[in-house]
A and B are shown apart, each in its own frame.
Chain A
Amino acid sequence: MSQGINSSLIKFVVRLGDNNLILGHRLSEWCSKGPFLEEDIAMSNIALDYIGQARVLYSYAGQLDGGKNEDYYAYERREHEFTNALLCETPNGDFGMTVARQLYYSVFAYALCNALLKSKDETLSGYAGKAVKELAYHVRHASDWTLRLGDGTEESNKRMQHGIDELWMYTHDLFATLESDKELVAAGIIPDVAAMKGEWLEQVKDVIQRATLTMPDVNAWQMEGSRKGRHTENIGYIISELQYVTRAYPGCEW
């Protein structure tokens, strides 16, 4: 692999790893706070899937990047070096907000992994093979809950709509690309992520409408910047917790 394409691939793999770690971190905050026990277990389970996926991706990035280990990416980088989608770092809010985030993210991630199954990079296609099964469950879980909350009671409808509306402004950023992605697309290593938005929109719209909810204004202004490390204020607090022990006791094995 050429130097250039190697560094482009690292950026892409780290981006995907960051999405998984940061969203997994957020979902893990639900532990012991779920709306009932079965759902508490389901959320920890999903959090664990994302953290597991982050580990696979970080290990691969490390392998491409001179033998760094998975923990380097989680524990040794600064806020601006994380390139997770802004949506992943949004606070959990109430259960409706979390379900909305899961709907937006999992539909996106499922489509991405489905496309990565055909990647010419064997590690990425291998990752996708495992991830796609987990993500299919996440999509079902999020869609089922969107339907239950949207078409449940008046209050749940209001809260679910609120989640859908509040998080809309972060969804375009899921599809952000870098100039460096182009050569990966050309080499058949990754799909054209930006081009996946149309299909995502159709799928999300279908669930939202079946849930008797109103689709947000697709032309409304949306925030971007994550792939360049420009975040919301949330990231600082996430990183503070995530890295607290390793920063307080540098250079230790755990």
Chain B
Amino acid sequence: MENVMELEAQFQAKIDRGEFIEPKDWMPEKYRKTLIRQISQHAHSEIIGMQPEGNWITRAPSLRRKAILLAKIQDEAGHGLYLYSACETMGISREELNHQLHTGAAKYSSIFNYPTLSWADMGAIGWLVDGAAIVNQVSLQRTSYGPYARAMVRICKEESFHQRQGYELLLSLCRGTAEQKAMAQDAMNRWWWPSLMMFGPHDAESAHSAQSMQWKIKRESNDELRQKFIDKTVAQAEFLGLTIPDPDLKWNAERGHYDFGQIDWEEFNNVIRGNGPCNKQRLNHHVKVHEENVWVREAANAYAKKNAKKSETLVA
């Protein structure tokens, strides 16, 4: 027992010195579990997020936009892959992670439980959703677990390209016809509040925050990150000529930040509990695809085994 306490003290001291924890280092079981929960949630979000964006690939209104959207979704899938790999360094298999997603034991970002109803949503997701994700992920580049922090560095680079393309897409709409601008405003109205919810509950209500801050798994609190996102987004919305759907949003010179209205936490909790417009659809899709393709994975395994045997025979 004393030994464990000593190990924990050394572990915490290492974190306090700002050093990374690496896969082979000793770590408290709860640290490992918390990280698996957080990283897998992030990985699942990248993967489930392919659905609402994939929804518009075949309908993209120019070949340039189509190519950008496809490349972006491919990046997201790639992020999912690195993050699954980061999880695997902690001794959990891809299969198990997938199983946790399908049974609901693991979550993904609730933002992807909202539908993409117009082409402008491809812009709003890039600008607001990826924008919110970047604020969070920039902070995670300094997270204490080495493989996760390094994955974040790479992911952040690609995400900032995603955000720029989303903003540029909306800029084209906002400089276009009245109908195009209305399409952009409608997307803004639907995605603004869910984007703010991406940062999670208020600090006082956040179940995992205190311990995660001590372990430097999280580096800044939900409310701090949310405020950062709002502060940098308001001017961008003004430049587009879009109205942020919050009558209480105003600059507070004393705080040096924007004040903003009440988030609808009832909606937030409801969507987390499974009652969002697309929760069932997103998960069912993932499960269905997984099940429909069992035969492909079995064939690949059978073929690999046969050939391993053949090459053994050749060597012998």
Contact = CB atoms under 8 A, between A and B. Distances in A.
Chain B interface mostly helix, strand, loop or mixed?
Answer: helix
B295 A156 contact: yes
A52 B65 CA distance: 11
Interface stretch (A186-194, A198-206, A243-251): A243-251
A234 interface: no
Contacts of B169: 254
Contact of A32 (B51, B63, B303): B51
A252 B59 contact: no
B300 A152 contact: yes
A68 to B, nearest CB: 13
A162 to B, nearest CB: 12
B262 interface: no
Contact of B299 (A55, A153, A252): A153
Interface stretch (A43-51, A104-112, A114-122, A169-177): A43-51
B2 interface: no
B63 A48 contact: no
A245 B299 contact: no
A74 B60 CA distance: 11
Interface in B263-314: 285, 289, 292-293, 295-300, 302-303, 306
A221 interface: no
B62 interface: yes
Nearest to A94: B292
From B62, B84, B292, B297, residue with most partner A Cβ within 10 Å: B62
Interface in A218-254: 241-242, 244-246, 249, 251-254
B39 interface: no
B180 A31 contact: no
B103 interface: no
Contact of B54 (A32, A54, A156, A252): A32
B77 A44 contact: yes
B71 interface: yes
Contact of A28 (B57, B64, B77): B57
A175 B89 CA distance: 50
Given A52-B67, A55-B63, A44 B73 contact: yes
Contacts of B28: none
B81 A38 contact: yes
B73 A31 contact: yes
Contact of A149 (B60, B61, B299): B299
A28 B50 CA distance: 12
Contacts of A44: 70, 73-74, 77
A148 to B, nearest CB: 4
A14 to B, nearest CB: 14
A95 B67 contact: no
Contacts, number: 131
A66 interface: no
Contacts of B295: 153, 155-156, 159
A148 B303 contact: yes
A151 B71 contact: no
Nearest to B52: A32
A35 B297 CA distance: 7
Given A28-B70, A156-B302, A244-B59, 19 more contacts: A29-B57, A34-B289, A35-B293, A35-B296, A35-B297, A37-B81, A37-B84, A41-B74, A48-B71, A55-B64, A58-B63, A94-B292, A149-B299, A149-B303, A153-B302, A241-B58, A241-B59, A242-B59, A254-B61
Interface of B: 47, 50-51, 54, 57-67, 70-71, 73-74, 77-78, 80-81, 84, 119, 169, 172-173, 175-177, 179-180, 285, 289, 292-293, 295-300, 302-303, 306
23 contacts: A28-B66, A29-B58, A31-B57, A32-B51, A37-B77, A37-B80, A38-B81, A40-B50, A51-B63, A51-B67, A95-B293, A148-B300, A153-B298, A155-B299, A241-B58, A241-B59, A249-B61, A252-B176, A252-B180, A254-B62, A254-B65, A254-B119, A254-B172
Interface of A: 21, 25, 28-29, 31-41, 44-45, 47-48, 51-52, 54-55, 58, 70-71, 74-75, 94-95, 147-149, 151-153, 155-156, 159, 241-242, 244-246, 249, 251-254
